[in-house]
Amino acid sequence: MIYNDFNGDKLSRLGFGCMRFKTDPETGEIDQQKVNAMFDLAISQGVNYFDTAYPYLGGKSEIAMAEALKKYPRESYYLVDKFPGHSLPGPVDNIALFNVSLNKCRTDYFDFYLLHNITEWSVKIYESEEYHIIPDMVRMKEEGKIRHLGFSFHGGPELLEEFLNRHEGVFEFVQIQCNYLDWTLQNAKKKYDIITDRGLGVWIMEPCRGGKLAQLSDENMARLKAFDLQRSAASYAFRFLQGLEQVKMILSGMNEVAQVEDNLNTFASYEPLSPEERQTLLEIAEGMKKGVPCTGCRYCCAGCPMELDIPFLLECYNDYRYAESLTASQRLDGLTEDKKPTSCIACGQCSHACPQGIDVPAALAELSEMYANGPKWAEVSKGRAESIRKDLNME
Ligand code: SF4
Ligand code: SF4
């Protein structure tokens, strides 16, 4: 196993993400024996970082993780959890909710703790004085119940920069969605640069884009097999990230023993991609995209009579076009009505200004439709808010 030093701790570069454990389709129960077997194997090969979150698997992930870890000394691994500010029923007793997670995880401290899922929408809750989340979590850190405080982030680079500026010195690390597709599709490169410029640790989630980069088309797989017949598609995705110097943690949501074995092989030694392999992956990524080639130059913005943030909207459009996305829907929820794609009057000014020749009004019309008909964050979070109410014995 390869390791990273981070602010006094030695972290296995591969972290075990606990959001995808196999469950029984009828009962919803987690296959605990399989979780135990995967953890035992991972720990025997040096994995020491286990990452869960309050809402994962309907609240059952925290419990299954604690069960699998109970035979290991507490100081032999790093336990990681997240505060569900994005799913609260309203302002709650944050410390009581934090304590619910401590109890479910059978611990009295978290090594790493994150504000979960900051976007253009949820940031308003996280920063609200009434919700009082950040000061409460800082207090937990001062009291030793959190050793390292960070946040997971699904918004755009501008918000990331502003948020870090507003909370300088509060966070030690930032977890972003990053892989060789999102390097450009979700502006992960820009976010990586913003985080590293501040000397903070970069944590990676979705290294294989929810499994999509682990199962490439035959044509794309043939291009990788030309380098090495044995390596899996997933191993290339991980090695792309190994080459990013400030990446301290790469999380993989493993749910099969064979997957754990393959990942352990990849992380047994440090083997970043050759320049040719890296170039091939970036070409494969370009071929997988289905959106528009917006470079974020903003030449179109000055002439927009509705003052829309066109590159932001096209970022959401590209995300939707690749796969139905709750993240993009939540980011659009963060806009006031007059800044949503439905406000576009199709005047066409932007398309004339665009060096990439993008038909912006057509893209925004399609985005409005996908946003209206796609999954809604508000609906998903309703059930989560309900379980928080129950956990806190709220009326
Ligand atoms: S077409 Fe829409 S986005 Fe483009 S300038 Fe006109 S109002 Fe703005
Ligand atoms: S001018 Fe074109 S490429 Fe530049 S930000 Fe606008 S839409 Fe994107």
Helix (H) or strand (E) holding 363: helix 360-373
Residue of the CA atom closest to atom 7 of ligand 1: 344
Distance 295 CA to ligand 2 centre (A): 6
pLDDT in tens, 192-209: 999 999 999 999 999 999
pLDDT in tens, 86-103: 999 999 999 999 999 999
Test site for ligand 1: of 294, 335, 349, 368, most ligand atoms within 8 A of the Cβ: 349
Q: Is 363 touching ligand 2 by the criterion CB < 6 Å?
A: no
pLDDT at residue 325 in the model: 75
pLDDT in tens, 336-372: 999 999 999 999 999 999 988 899 999 999 999 999 9
Test site for ligand 1: of 347, 356, 359, most ligand atoms within 8 A of the Cβ: 347
User: What is the number of residues in the chain?
Assistant: 395
Q: State the ligand closest to the CA atom of 340.
A: 1
pLDDT at residue 27 in the model: 85
Give dist(CA 189, CA 203) in Å, integer.
Answer: 13
Query: Please, what's the b/e burial string for 294-303 (b: 16 or more CB within 10 A of its CB; e: otherwise)?
Result: beeeeebbee
Cβ atoms of 304 and 312 within 8 Å: the answer is no
Q: Is 294 touching ligand 2 by the criterion CB < 6 Å?
A: yes
Residue of the CA atom closest to atom 8 of ligand 2: 294
Give dist(CA 93, CA 29) in Å, integer.
Answer: 29
pLDDT at 395 over 70: no
Give dist(CA 372, CA 64) in Å, integer.
Answer: 36
Helix (H) or strand (E) holding 60: helix 60-69
Residue of the CA atom closest to atom 3 of ligand 1: 344
Mean pLDDT over the full length of the chain: 94
What does the block give as tokens for 77?
A: 């691994």
Q: Is 268 touching ligand 2 by the criterion CB < 6 Å?
A: no
Test site for ligand 1: of 310, 335, 343, most ligand atoms within 8 A of the Cβ: 310
Domains contained in the chain, CATH given: 3-283 (3.20.20.100), 310-378 (no CATH)
Distance 35 CA to ligand 2 centre (A): 46
pLDDT in tens, 5-51: 999 999 999 999 999 999 988 888 999 999 999 999 999 999 999 99
What does the block give as tokens for 57?
A: 């698997």
Residue of the CA atom closest to atom 1 of ligand 2: 354
Q: Is 349 touching ligand 1 by the criterion CB < 6 Å?
A: yes
Q: Is 346 touching ligand 1 by the criterion CB < 6 Å?
A: yes
Test site for ligand 2: of 185, 292, 298, 313, most ligand atoms within 8 A of the Cβ: 298
Distance 141 CA to ligand 2 centre (A): 42
Instruction: Give the number of the atom of ligand 1 that is nearest the alpha carbon of residue 303.
Output: 5
Strand partners, 3: 12
pLDDT at residue 85 in the model: 95
